[in-house]
């Protein structure tokens, strides 16, 4: 009898221990099951992001909101641009031409308008006495080569006027040939004389431009 009681007690103890171990294993499996899928998704998402961003080449991740993005540096200007020329060069201001000399060229001094060249250098424009044409004179740091490279001018031809070597040309869009440019190389850039006809009966513009240049040659020396 005593032997049977002991056997039953041992059997109950073994079953109880088995249940305890089984319960612990179940809780652990449940916990592992909760963590493992979450970790797998995280890794998968990171891998997907990396694959999407890589595109076969390594890329840096975009900075967070707290990080500052360095400002891009502007490329160095080409040697032929106005920015590459010395900014200390003092260009001639044609607006200082005496009214008497302007009137002597058949222009109205009171019609003077101040204009700026493409790089902000000084210039002025006058209308003829009959308003048939206008003459603009300006200085610029841009060279003749710079003008040629823009593609906006055509028919370049060397001329010699008022004891100076110069270049005559037209605007490429001036198919009716109502305008004419004559430019002189000077220190730091060039001086440009431009005639533009305002009326059909106006004289040939290049002839007018050369005449004005010849009359104002003292300002070019």
The enclosing H or E element of 24 equals helix 2-54
* Whether residue 151 sits in one domain with residue 86: yes
Whole-model pTM over 0.85: no
Q: Is the residue at 67 inside a domain?
A: no
* Whether residue 13 sits in one domain with residue 86: no
Q: What is the pLDDT of residue 98?
A: 98
Contact yes or no for 179/171 (Cβ under 8 A): yes
The tens digit of pLDDT for each residue in 187-206 reads: 899 999 999 999 999 999 99
Q: What is the pLDDT of residue 134?
A: 98
Q: What is the pLDDT of residue 221?
A: 67
CA separation for the pair 11, 134 (Å, rounded): 121
Q: Is the residue at 74 inside a domain?
A: no
Q: Is the residue at 146 inside a domain?
A: yes
First-last CA distance in the chain? 140
CA separation for the pair 213, 160 (Å, rounded): 11
* Whether residue 128 sits in one domain with residue 36: no
Q: What is the pLDDT of residue 113?
A: 97
Look at the chain and report how many structural domains it folds into. Answer: 2
Contact yes or no for 194/113 (Cβ under 8 A): no
Domain span at residue 164? 82-219
Q: Is the residue at 57 inside a domain?
A: no
Q: What is the pLDDT of residue 219?
A: 92
Q: Give the residues of the chain that fall short of pLDDT 70.
A: 1-89, 221
Whole-number average pLDDT of the chain: 72
């Amino acid at each position: 009898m005593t032997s049977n009681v002991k056997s039953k007690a041992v059997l109950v103890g073994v079953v109880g221990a088995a249940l305890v171990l089984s319960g612990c294993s179940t809780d652990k499996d449940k916990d592992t099951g909760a963590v493992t899928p979450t970790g797998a998704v995280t890794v998968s998402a990171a891998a997907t992001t990396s694959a999407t961003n890589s595109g076969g080449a390594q890329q840096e991740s975009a900075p967070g909101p707290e990080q500052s993005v360095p400002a891009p540096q502007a490329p160095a200007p080409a040697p032929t641009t106005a920015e590459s020329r010395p900014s200390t060069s003092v260009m001639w201001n044609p607006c200082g031409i005496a009214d008497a000399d302007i009137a002597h060229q058949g222009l109205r001094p009171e019609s003077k308008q101040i204009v700026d060249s493409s790089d902000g250098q000084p210039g002025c424009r006058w209308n003829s006495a009959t308003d048939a044409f206008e003459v603009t004179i300006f200085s610029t740091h841009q060279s003749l080569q710079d003008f040629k490279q823009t593609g906006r001018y055509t028919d370049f031809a060397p001329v010699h006027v008022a004891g100076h070597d110069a270049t005559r040309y037209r605007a490429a869009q001036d198919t009716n040939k109502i305008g004419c440019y004559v430019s002189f190389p000077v220190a730091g850039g060039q001086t440009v004389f431009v005639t533009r006809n305002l009326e059909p009966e106006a004289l040939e513009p290049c002839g007018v431009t050369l005449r004005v240049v010849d009359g104002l040659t003292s300002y070019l020396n």
